[in-house]
Structures are given as structure tokens and as C-alpha cells.
Structure 1
Amino acid sequence: MRAQRLDTSTLTLEVTDVPVPSPGPGEVLIKVAFCGICHSDLSLLDGTFPAMGPQVITQGHEASGTIAELGPDVDGWSVGDRVVPAAGRPCGRCHSCLRADYGHCTALQLMAFAYDGAWAEYTVAQAPGLTRIPDNVSMEQAAILADAVSTPYGAVVHTGEVRVGESVGVWGAGGVGTHVVQLARLVGASPIVAVDLDETVRQRALDLGADLALDSRDPDLAAKILEITGGVGLDVAFDAVGLKVTFDQAMASLGNGGRLVGVGMSGEEWGLGASMWFNLSRKKVLGHLGYEPADIGTLARLVSTGRLDLSRSISGIVPLEDVAEGIRILHEREGSPVRILVQP
């Protein structure tokens, strides 16, 4: 089969022929329909995030496809089933896994970082991590459920615990932040403020449910957020960028007792300022990663029933042989993309 292979020691990328993998016990072989290009893929490519597995690895962790082969001891699934594999697999050995609490595995192996991903014609996945996709959900939209939508869902619902009527701010309304905006609106947040440098991205955020979209360079940013929140500041802020400047702005925009959820990641260090003021304000800073396995099924149902519209989330599709072009488009933010998909 054809697969994109990254040499993590030299950070060189090549599409080449490799053997089709065989599913082991409890695993399935998936014929990949689409796989997204994520900013974490770019971070592996440029060395910001280290690889956690073999020196040469197949990237891609936002996949959709059909089951092509069942491994031993797989029940409840059939060849031809439309599925999304989870973007990680539990270690099976940590304290949580030994209690069958796989959703809180402390040594989770990440797809495309610790083991081969889905920028390939086929990929292997654990059967317990599969989600069945309704027939009326496109395979393109199904692919991005595995991270670009489910990670924001986890941030809004599980980590941020956004409640109806709470005010929300989103710093960075790109691939992840776009969906934070949509999901915050879906759970009843009001008002929702999107903050981004890109005018196109700000307009898209307004179209998808934000009540106000601001340029982070606006000298009146803080005053405008105070005005729309009635002078009290935000209840919840999501930093979908992960830079010091976005963290500082989001923190400063919180009201007393507000919650800041870190979703975006970088190598930059954050600071909380003087402990006296941090403690007096009773603000909370919460780190977020990923989602619970059941979240993909919830999101698939929301898309299937028309509650969640992802029609604007697929910004382009490239064939596997042109994966480097898709990476360039996302890296250079050409056309302000949400997600670029690879079609093997």
C-alpha cells in the first residue's frame, strides 16, 4: 500500500510503498477514506513535539474508513462497516487501565506519534476504540470527529463544564477554535466572543455562532469584552493557540472565579502573576487534552440529526501523493483553512 512515512530523526517526509498491516487480536484493518491534517502533525514534522514510537512512522490521526478485515477475537463488527478509529489507545497497564477506566489512561499512546497513523491506504485500530458512523454522515466530516471536533467538545463539556447562559471567549478561531465556538453555542453559552488576528476567521466565527469577534491587537479588546459581559468579565475562556500572549489575554478577560481552559499547545511558558491576585480572583486554569471515546459517537449523532453543522469545516482535500501540499496550505494558513483532508 501507499503510505506517508516520516523519519523523525531527520524530519524528512516520503510517500512510499509499505506492506499492508495485519490486524492482531482485538484489532481491525481499516481502508482509509479520509484523514485530516492537524496542527499537532505539523508540530511532529518540525520537531516541536517529539515522536513517542518508532523512528519512521506514518502520520495522521483524524481518520474515517470502512473495515476491511477483522482480527481474531473481534465481535460486533463486520467487514464494510463505516467507522472512525479513536486517535489513541490505552496502555492497558497503568492504574486507571487496570481498573478498566480506559478513558483516564495515564500513559495513553497517541496515534501517529506512538504508532502508525492513517496517512495511508490502510490502518490498524483497536476494535474497542471504534465508532460506527451513520449512513447520512459524510466520510469527510466523520474523519474530523476524531480530534478537530471531539477535542473541542471535550474542552467545552468535560473540562470547561460550560453551563447554559455562561459567557465564553475563544482565543484562536481556527481548526479547533471554530468548533469551540459552535459547541459553546450548542450547549447554551451566551455571549460568545471570538478573538483572532485573521479577519476571515473572525467573520466565519460570527457566521457559526459567535456574538462578537475581535482582533487580538485591538487596543480596546478588554473594554469590549467587559461591555458585552455587563462589566463582569468572562465565565470561561478557551485558549486554542497556546502562546503566552493568548494565555495572558484570556486570563485577563476572566471575571472573578472564571475558568481558563488551555487547548492549544506550544513550547512557550505561561505565568500566573502574583499569587495574591490569582488567589483573590479565585480564577482557575485547566489543561485539556483529547476526549472520551464515547464523545465521537455523541458528535456523530449530532451531525446526523442536523444539530451540528460541519459543512464549513472541510477547507480542502489533497491526494496522498500531495500530502506535502496540504501541509503547506495549513502551515501557511492559505485561505484560512479549518481542516485539510488527505484522501489516500
Structure 2
Amino acid sequence: MRAIVTDGDGEVWEERRERPEPAPGEALVRIRAVGICGSDLGLVEGEGPPWTDYPLVPGHEVCAEVVELGEEVSDLSVGDRVALHGFVYCGTCTPCREGRYYQCDDLKEVGFTIDGGYREYAALPAYTLTPIPDAISDEEACQIDSAACTLHAMKRVETDVTDTAAVLGPGSLGLYGVQLLRARGVEDVILTGTRDERLEVGADLGANRTVNVREEDPVAAVEEYTDGEGVDICVEAAGAGDVVDTCLQIAKKRGSVVLTGVFGERKEIDPNHIVSKELEVVGGVTASHAVEDVIELFRRGDLTTEGVVTHEFPLADYDDALDAVRERRDGVIKAVLRP
């Protein structure tokens, strides 16, 4: 089979490998679609999380089809289409016993410490695979993990139908954030970013007000829009620039700030905003406990990849695909590889 590998030194290459055999508790799957995440580009350059293990096959936004079952697997069937949520955990440490398996003391993660989805076949623990209904496309299925990462973080705070919200960053996480806020009943959503074409997609997906931060001061724009009160909830989905401090500035008294971006460096903030306004600040970096919810939202049509997934490439064109995402070429927001 074909597999795409990186060493974390900026190199990516193709290897020919034997198709794996499923061990007990595993399922052999044929990869149908895999999204290119910004973290995949970071892995290539050696900027992955500290637990990254090289050389590595990247890819954690996976839709696949079950082709063979290992022993002791009873909750999947050959032919099932499945979405991946790739945390491999011990099940016995304190975080696992408390339901925080994504913080397992011996955590392994598909696409970071275990070879991921940039290949044609994979043998994966059956519990990382969730069957998906026929109504959900492969494209949507490979985005379940991405959208669920945003939802997991948002579920840590309360929202209300009377809230005004801001989403900072119109990449895939932010565009799913706009839709998820609307699905939770928040009808007044501001979206900020640096690219008009992405902001236009956000408006199509439900943002009431968009702000290009290269043309407007986002703090002043939000203050004007909210009559000086600020927003009830601010969802940071950029992982770049001074968005964290912007969130603290535009959140209203007793407001909530949700951080979902992964930053490559330390950021400066004014903590007095947190203290004086008694802000609630939470983080989230996992799709845990949100996968089933996102599947249902896709099934009901309350969540879509339209305008978010903009490009598809065959796996053989991985170099061109990675360059397109890296350079944000041709209006790409989310690109998908098709093995």
C-alpha cells in the first residue's frame, strides 16, 4: 500500500508498505478521505506536540471503511463506514477513570504517536472508530473530529439564546464554531479574520457581522456592535496573533472565553481583564464526548462542510496538496486527500 511519511525536518515522502493485519481488538480499515489539518503541517516542520513520534504517517481527520475485523471486535461490521477519534488510552489511570481519557497518563494518538491516515489502509483500535449513517458523506465524516474539537471546548461553557458571540478566526475550526453556536441557539454571531473570502463563507454559514482585522480594529468593532457591552462568549479559533488578548478585551463582564487554537509561541495578555470582569476562560483540544453530537448535527443538516472543505486531492498528489494548504493557494480553507 501507499503511505506518506514525514521525519519532522521538513521532508515528506511516499513509501510502499505491506498492508497491516488487525490485532485482537483492532479493525483493518481502508481510508476513504483524510483532511489536512494545520497541525499536520506543523508535524512536517517538527512543530508538533511534545509527544509526536517520528518518522510518522500524519493524518487524524479520517473517514474509512472497515474491511477486516480482529478478534474480540463485536461492535463493528465489515463494510461499515467509520469516523476516527484517534485517542488510544489505558483506561485505568485517574484521568481515564474520570472520563478524561484524552488526558491519559499513557496517551497515544493516531497521527501524532501512531501512524495516521495519509495511507491506504490502517489497523486501528476498534474503540477509536464510530460508524456513520449513509446520509453523511465521506467529506463530512472526515471533518467530524475537527468540528467536534470546537464543540468539546464550547460545551465547557453555558450558552443562551439571548447571547451575542464572537468567533476569532475563519478557518475550519472557526467556521464550524459559527455553525455550532447557531445550532446551540445563539443567533447573534460576530466573525473576525484577515481574509475577506473566508469571512464571506462565515456570513453564508450564519455570522451576522464580519470584521476584517486588517481594515478594522476588532475591539472597536465589537464594542460598537454591542453598544459597549462586549460579547457573552468569545470562541478563539485562530491560534495566531494577539487573538487571546482580543478575546479578553471584547468579552463582557462575567463573559466566557473559549480557546481552541494551538499556538506555536507564548502570547502576551493583560490578565486584569480576567480579574476585573470575572471572566471564565477555558481551553479545549479534543473531540472527546462530542463526536456523536456532531454526527447528529451533520445528519440533521445543522452542520455542513459546504464552503469549508474547498479542495480535494488524490493521495499521490500529497506534495501539491500540502503546498496548497501551506500557501493558502486558490482560496483553500480545508483540503482533503483521497487515497
Q: For this structure pair, what is the TM-score category when the shorter chain's length is used for normalisation?
A: over 0.9
Letter in 2 for 1:253: I
Deviates more, 1:243-252 or 1:63-72: 243-252
Letter in 2 for 1:228: Y
Q: Distance in 1 between matches of 2:101 and 2:50?
A: 22
Q: Any idea what the Cα deviations from partners look like across 1:19-69, whole Å, max 9, x if unmatched?
A: 212221211111110001000101111122246354211111011111011
Matches within 5 A, 1:333-344: 333-344=328-339
Contact preservation (8 Å) 1:52, 1:113: yes
Deviation of 1:184 (Å): 0.7
Letter in 1 for 2:143: I
Letter in 2 for 1:142: A
3-state SS, counterpart of residue 217 of structure 1: coil
Contact preservation (8 Å) 1:83, 1:133: yes
Q: Any idea what the Cα deviations from partners look like across 1:247-291, whole Å, max 9, x if unmatched?
A: 12222111111222111112221334254x531211122121112
Task: Give the counterpart of 1:289 among 272, 285, 292.
Answer: 285
3-state SS, counterpart of residue 188 of structure 1: coil
Aligned: 1:229 with 2:226: yes
Contact preservation (8 Å) 1:57, 1:116: yes
Task: Give the counterpart of 1:273 among 262, 270, 274.
Answer: 270
Aligned counterpart, 1:52? 51
3-state SS, counterpart of residue 151 of structure 2: helix
Contact preservation (8 Å) 2:4, 2:15: yes
3-state SS, counterpart of residue 92 of structure 1: coil
Deviation of 1:103 (Å): 5.3
Q: Distance in 2 between matches of 1:24 and 1:195?
A: 47
Aligned: 1:187 with 2:197: no
Q: Distance in 2 between matches of 1:50 and 1:102?
A: 18
| Residue identity (%) | 28
1:336–1:238: structure 2 CA closer, same or farther, 3 Å change rule? Answer: farther
Task: Give the counterpart of 2:149 among 130, 151, 155.
Answer: 151
Q: Distance in 2 between matches of 1:71 and 1:162?
A: 43
Matches within 5 A, 1:19-168: 19-50=18-49, 52=51, 54-98=53-97, 102=101, 105-147=104-146, 149-156=147-154, 158-168=155-165
Aligned: 1:204 with 2:201: yes
Letter in 1 for 2:6: L
3-state SS, counterpart of residue 294 of structure 2: helix
Q: Distance in 2 between matches of 1:186 and 1:175?
A: 16
Contact preservation (8 Å) 1:36, 1:144: yes
Deviation of 1:216 (Å): 1.3
Q: Any idea what the Cα deviations from partners look like across 1:88-136, whole Å, max 9, x if unmatched?
A: 2223342122466535535532211110101100112211222111112
Q: Any idea what the Cα deviations from partners look like across 1:136-161, whole Å, max 9, x if unmatched?
A: 211121111122x11112122x2233
TM-score (norm 1): 0.92
Aligned counterpart, 1:16? 15
3-state SS, counterpart of residue 175 of structure 2: helix
Q: Distance in 1 between matches of 2:175 and 2:216?
A: 23
1:19–1:54: structure 2 CA closer, same or farther, 3 Å change rule? Answer: farther
Q: Distance in 2 between matches of 1:145 and 1:274?
A: 34
Aligned counterpart, 1:332? 327
3-state SS, counterpart of residue 258 of structure 1: strand
Contact preservation (8 Å) 2:254, 2:277: yes
Contact preservation (8 Å) 2:259, 2:281: yes
Contact preservation (8 Å) 2:62, 2:143: yes
Letter in 1 for 2:199: R
3-state SS, counterpart of residue 337 of structure 2: strand
Deviates more, 1:253-262 or 1:306-315: 306-315
3-state SS, counterpart of residue 298 of structure 2: helix
Aligned counterpart, 2:2? 2
Q: Distance in 2 between matches of 1:91 and 1:18?
A: 28
1:6–1:317: structure 2 CA closer, same or farther, 3 Å change rule? Answer: same
Letter in 2 for 1:138: S
Q: 5+ unaligned residues in a row in structure 1: which ranges? A: none
Q: Distance in 1 between matches of 2:160 and 2:129?
A: 29
Letter in 2 for 1:86: H
Deviation of 1:177 (Å): 0.6
1:112–1:51: structure 2 CA closer, same or farther, 3 Å change rule? Answer: farther
Q: Distance in 2 between matches of 1:181 and 1:99?
A: 30
1:220–1:11: structure 2 CA closer, same or farther, 3 Å change rule? Answer: closer
Aligned counterpart, 2:214? 217
Contact preservation (8 Å) 1:178, 1:338: no
Letter in 1 for 2:135: N
TM-score (norm 2): 0.93
